[in-house]
Amino acid sequence: MERIGDDMIFEEILSRLPAKAVCRFKCVSKQWCYELSTPKFVLIHTRRVSNLPQKKLISLNGNSIVVDDIVSGNLEVDTRKIVTFPYDVEPSLLSIIGSFNGLILLCIRRTDSNDLVLWNPTTRRFKLISDDYFSRYFGRHNDTGGMYVDEHNDLKVLHINCYWGTVTARVYSRHSGSWRKLNFLKGSMLGSNFYSWSPGIYSGKTIYFTVSNYWIPPGERNIVAFDVISESFSILRFPERIEVNPCQAHFLSISNKLHVIVVQYAGELIADLVKYEQNDWINVFSFNKARIVEHLEPQERTNIIQDNRWLITSIWGDTVEVILCNDSLKYIQHVDCYNGPKGALFFETILSPFS
């Protein structure tokens, strides 16, 4: 029998193992530790596990950080685990900004300063990436961001801050360990305190944000798109059919395509799922019996399916429940990304916060 080469062992065999198993195999020898940490292996492993139906749901409860198993969109009962954050801080002071390839981007909100942390809850590795810029207040509706990988396999962190009517966008490079400023949309009024920014969602080399005016005039909604290749911003039109106020919109990535669940209040609660495809918005489903869920423990669990019921938490803290039919259940089981201030979907990888 021919001897199995190292490339076959690492790229075709070990790359198919779960992240925690790969971490254990790093202890075999220094060579294995090196081979299992190379950018090439990490990239292959990340691509393989991202296509699996198993996901994890991280939730910030009042006094704990919880991780649940999600299989094909469904919450697996009795899999709940409590995880420890690397800093001694109450979970109530944390906000989730985004998740990407197994990394979670969080903000620690303190009275005198704020910190941004890149954290891999699977490997427990973390990196503090904030600088003096973050000493001022971090607003839940005024600060947002996202993560992506550029063509050089450099992990980037996008941070958007709205302060005194000005939008400041900066990007952090994992390779250089430093921040640099980006040009935002000229003449934009989206930095006003009247606007609320959603967490970003990554889909198709673009990070999307909803920016809503919830004061005067109420109901104005915008979609800001950030192209990760050109590192430039643009405004994407909102679905024209959404004219009822008040209205909430929540981004999802389903089968790597941008979707929005739209919740409207027009005498009764109406919930629709629309998809962005070929520069147009397409209605996918109109859900039956949508309702607001109040004072329930799952309120802290973002985007879960249980007993054919879908719970999704808004940036205002409301939890909307819709009933799923067979077709909509099968469709939504392919949700691969969702970010909210108190929860996010992720999959277990060995991706390091460090370069």
Question: Which of 1-5, 15-19, 130-134 has the least mean pLDDT?
Answer: 1-5
Task: Taking residues 278-304, report their average pLDDT.
Answer: 75
Residue 72 DSSP class: T
User: Is the alpha carbon torsion for 315, 321, 323, 329 positive or negative?
Assistant: positive
Q: What is the CATH number of domain 52-346?
A: 2.120.10
Q: What is the pLDDT of residues 94-106, one digit of tens each?
A: 888 889 999 999 9
Q: CA–CA separation, 328 vs 240, rounded Å?
A: 23
Q: Which residue has the tokens 């994992």?
A: 174
Classify the C-alpha dihedral 54-206-150-67 as positive or negative: negative
Domain boundaries, the chain: 1-51, 52-346
- The reported pLDDT for the residue numbered 108 is 87
With CA atoms as reference, report the closest residue to 320 among 303, 343, 341: 303
Predicted TM-score (pTM) of this structure: 0.90
Lowest model confidence (mean pLDDT) among 21-35, 97-111, 334-348:
334-348
- Grade residue 219 by pLDDT with cuts at 50, 70 and 90: low
Could you tell me the pLDDT band of residue 128, with boundaries at 50, 70 and 90?
very high
Do 245 and 218 touch, CB atoms closer than 8 A? yes
pLDDT of residue 158: 96
pLDDT surpasses 70 at 135: no
- Rounded to the nearest integer, the mean pLDDT of the chain is 84
Nearest to 32 by CA among 10, 4, 3: 10
Contact 72/314 with Cβ under 8 angstroms?
Answer: no
Please report, for residues 120, 242, 324, the alpha-carbon distance to residue 266 in angstroms, rounded to integers and kept in the order given: 42, 11, 21
44-54: pLDDT as tens digits: 999 999 888 88
DSSP 8-state class, residue 87: S
- What's the mean pLDDT in 185-202? 85
Q: How far is Cα 122 from Cα 299, in angstroms, rounded to an integer?
A: 24
Q: Which tops the pLDDT comparison, 5 or 58?
A: 58
Separation between Cα atoms, residue 49 and residue 167, nearest integer Å: 36
